[in-house]
Amino acid sequence: MAAGLSSWGMSTSRPALSEAVAFALANETPFPRDLRAYLEAGHFEPPPYNAVIGPIFPRGAPNGLILQNGTRLADWGDTRQADMTFSVAKSYLSLLAGIAWADGLLSDLDAPVRDLIQDGGFESDQNSTITWRHLLTNTSEWEGELFGKSDVIDRGRDLAREGSGKKGQARPLQAPGTYWEYNDVRVNRFSLCLLRLFRRPLPEVFAERILDPIGGSRDWVWYPYDNAFVEVDGRTLPSVPGGTHWGGGMRIHAEDQALIGRLVLQGGEWNGRQILPRQWLEWSLTPCALNPSYGFLWWLNGAGRWPEAPRESIFAMGAGGNVTWILPPAGLVAVMRWIHPEKIGAFCALVARALA
């Protein structure tokens, strides 16, 4: 940690950032500290579809940090507080897919998934033409049940009305690649596909190929659901989810998340070593055809989804106000934990103004 900066309370080496830091602290997420009770009360959907099937822990207080060109400019709260990070884990699955591509395990993004994954999940008429690109862009329209959760639960999901909008209706499915929908069951199916490609638990690959090389900690844990274990080469391995919708998922602190953000900002390069393929990151941060605000499991702001934030902003975004924000023109990486989701754009505007 840079001299003079504390991960407790509020500190900044740039007085102009004080307003942004104070704003983050003053605008805490509405998610209560008892996350299990909140999910079990039906935040995402009503019973019985909301049943928690994986570990979940109470959250801590808001915290975060701001880096520019690798220099720490400000922080607030306890940035080594490991908390559930919800759908930020989707962007981590995207990075793992890049490792699989670099290793030759996944060579053609537009090939049917069933060419490589033959576990019964891609044999139906609806699923047989799904490609890797479809899974990466949330356009697969995959149909089925995984670990006791049906894809129908998230059909019709409207993120702008999360927690209040109607969803879970068995609408007619479209052809793969023709309809965009944010669906956690389908993302979890993608995660299972990656497990089958690597033939190793994804957290092991994530540690060895991504976080360890950039100086990350081992303070994080990526939890599977209680029933999410499959057989691979005669071994029973965990399949981790791309969020904490039903418990499980990534529990990590802001320090490690900032390192991951820097790696993406730097085009996958770290101290002269290419950790992630630059080409993969370019593809990942290109808007998909059906949603200009989405790439390969990354959120993009070119179409102004967050109107107050700079259009060049890139986000790994999780429910409850868990955000890694990357602003390439400014060399900026910021991590926000437990900020009010409706205040993310305003926070980004304050930081961008302070650094202008």
Average pLDDT by consecutive 10-residue portion of the chain (356 residues)? 42 82 97 97 93 98 97 97 98 98 97 98 98 98 98 90 78 96 97 98 98 98 98 98 98 98 98 98 98 98 97 98 98 98 98 95
pLDDT for 270 equals 98
pLDDT for 10 equals 65
Token code pair at residue 181 = 């929908």
Residue at 265 is within a domain: yes
The pTM of the full predicted model, rounded to 2 decimals, is 0.95
pLDDT for 4 equals 30
Give the residue among 249, 251, 252 at the shortest CA–CA distance from 239. 249
Residue at 245 is within a domain: no
Residues 68/82, Cβ–Cβ less than 8 Å: no
Residue at 68 is within a domain: yes
Token code pair at residue 83 = 């908390």
Strand partners, 71: 68
Strand partners, 270: 273
What amino acid occupies position 114? R
Pairing of strands 332-337, 322-327: antiparallel
Token code pair at residue 18 = 């004080």
Q: CA–CA separation, 290 vs 307, rounded Å? A: 20
Q: CA–CA separation, 129 vs 110, rounded Å? A: 10
What amino acid occupies position 8? W
Residue at 167 is within a domain: no
Side-chain-side CA neighbours of 182 within 13 Å: the count stands at 23
Token code pair at residue 114 = 């069933």
Token code pair at residue 85 = 């990070």
Residue at 192 is within a domain: no
pLDDT for 2 equals 34
Residue at 286 is within a domain: yes
For the domain that residue 279 is a member of, what is the CATH number?
3.40.710
**Structural domain that includes position 258:** 1-30+61-81+253-356
Residue at 236 is within a domain: no
Residue at 240 is within a domain: no
Q: Give the helix, strand, coil percentages of the chain, each rounded to 5.
A: 30, 20, 50
Q: Cis before residue 307, ω within 30 degrees of 0?
A: no
Number of domains into which the chain is organized: 1
Q: Is 93 exposed, middle or buried (0-12, 13-18, 19+ CB in 10 A)?
A: buried
